[in-house]
């Protein structure tokens, strides 16, 4: 068993049931299981959301019992979900996600939502970027965070699956935006797209699913990281994202 290092731990609670069969009958191959999920705590919109997709032998399963802490996720069109308002109903720190599939499978994750943090500085501090200037952010470190994500989106386009985001290269608490964050269609070779931008920092733990979180965040994740669950019969990914604060910058075309 190998699991990516981090704060999400898979407990050894997997049970697979199979019936005996006559020797002249070819046995059915064991079931394989996959989970893909995310927890987003968004202080900006004051909501917390958990989403999880679960499948058995490449088919979606709608009858599993999925819980996070003491709360039950509801299945709607093959997607298990839970939304909480205000966001504080989902506490910071550790809790357990559990998926029970009849007598076939029972597995648990112990995960952590990173602690609160804040943006300390924005450069240029006058909140205006000229064409030759770069934009950088500094922020306080968040306890339990495994990594950070920077994001920028033009005013009026947040939470519309638009904008630019990038993973911070390491456990640092300051970083510079790539130039394409402020170009037309976020293409590096395109011209600057002037106007006011919102600037965001997220923390994450585990491996959040980018597709399931894309409409829950001000700006979608930069891309999908690899799985953090890799067992004989079970693969997949699950992680958390905390979006807590933003700033702004006026990008000027000269």
Q: Tell me how far apart the alpha carbons of residues 110 and 20 are, in angstroms, rounded to a whole number.
A: 34
Token representation of residue 139: 């922020």
In this prediction, residue 2 carries a pLDDT of: 38
Q: What is the pLDDT of residues 165-209, one digit of tens each?
A: 999 987 899 999 999 999 999 999 899 999 999 999 999 999 999
Q: What is the pLDDT of residues 95-116, one digit of tens each?
A: 999 999 988 888 888 888 999 9
In this prediction, residue 22 carries a pLDDT of: 43
Q: What is the pLDDT of residues 208-233, one digit of tens each?
A: 999 999 999 999 999 999 999 888 88
Q: What is the pLDDT of residues 115-164, one digit of tens each?
A: 999 999 999 999 999 989 999 999 999 999 999 999 999 999 999 999 99
In this prediction, residue 14 carries a pLDDT of: 39
* pLDDT band, very low/low/confident/very high, at 21 (cuts 50, 70, 90): very low
pLDDT > 60? residue 16: no
pLDDT > 90? residue 238: yes
Q: Tell me how far apart the alpha carbons of residues 160 and 250 are, in angstroms, rounded to a whole number.
A: 20
Mean pLDDT for the stretch of residues 241-250: 94
In this prediction, residue 4 carries a pLDDT of: 39
Q: What is the pLDDT of residues 3-15, one digit of tens each?
A: 333 444 444 443 3
pLDDT > 90? residue 80: yes
Q: What is the pLDDT of residues 32-66, one digit of tens each?
A: 899 999 999 999 999 999 999 999 999 999 999 99
In this prediction, residue 30 carries a pLDDT of: 67
CB 168 within 8 A of CB 150: yes
The alpha carbons of the chain give a radius of gyration, in whole angstroms, of 21
Cβ–Cβ contacts within 10 Å for residue 119, how many?
16
DSSP E strands in 25-113: the ranges are 33-42, 47-56, 59-60, 65-68, 71-72, 74-76, 79-84, 93-101, 105-113
Domains of the chain, CATH where assigned: 9-114 (2.60.40), 119-227+233-251 (2.60.40.10)
Q: What is the pTM of this model?
A: 0.86
In this prediction, residue 25 carries a pLDDT of: 52
CB 175 within 8 A of CB 169: yes
Q: Tell me how far apart the alpha carbons of residues 185 and 245 are, in angstroms, rounded to a whole number.
A: 24
SS3 percent helix, strand, coil of the chain, rounded to 5, is: 5, 45, 50
Token representation of residue 228: 């953090």
């Amino acid at each position: 068993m190998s699991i990516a290092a981090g704060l999400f731990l898979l407990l050894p609670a997997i049970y697979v049931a199979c019936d005996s069969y006559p020797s002249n009958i070819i046995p059915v191959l064991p079931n394989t299981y996959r989970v893909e999920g995310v927890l987003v705590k968004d202080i900006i919109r004051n909501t917390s959301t958990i989403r999880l997709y679960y499948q058995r032998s490449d088919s979606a399963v709608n009858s599993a019992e999925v819980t996070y802490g003491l709360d039950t996720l509801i299945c709607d069109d093959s997607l298990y979900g839970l939304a909480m308002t205000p966001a504080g109903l989902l506490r910071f720190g550790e809790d357990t996600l559990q998926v029970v599939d009849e007598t076939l499978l029972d597995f648990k994750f112990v995960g952590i939502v990173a602690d609160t943090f804040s943006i300390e500085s924005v450069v240029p501090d006058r909140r205006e970027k000229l064409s030759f200037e770069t934009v950088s952010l500094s922020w306080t470190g968040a306890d339990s965070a495994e990594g950070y994500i920077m994001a920028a989106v033009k005013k009026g386009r947040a939470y519309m699956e638009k904008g630019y985001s990038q993973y911070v290269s390491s456990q640092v608490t300051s970083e510079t935006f790539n130039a394409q964050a402020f170009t037309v269609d976020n293409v590096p070779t395109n011209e600057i797209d002037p106007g006011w931008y919102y600037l965001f920092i997220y923390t994450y733990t585990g491996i959040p699913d980018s597709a399931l979180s894309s409409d829950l965040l001000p700006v979608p994740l930069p891309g999908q990281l690899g799985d953090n669950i890799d067992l004989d019969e079970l693969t997949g990914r699950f992680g958390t994202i905390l979006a807590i604060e933003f700033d702004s910058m006026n990008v000027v075309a000269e």
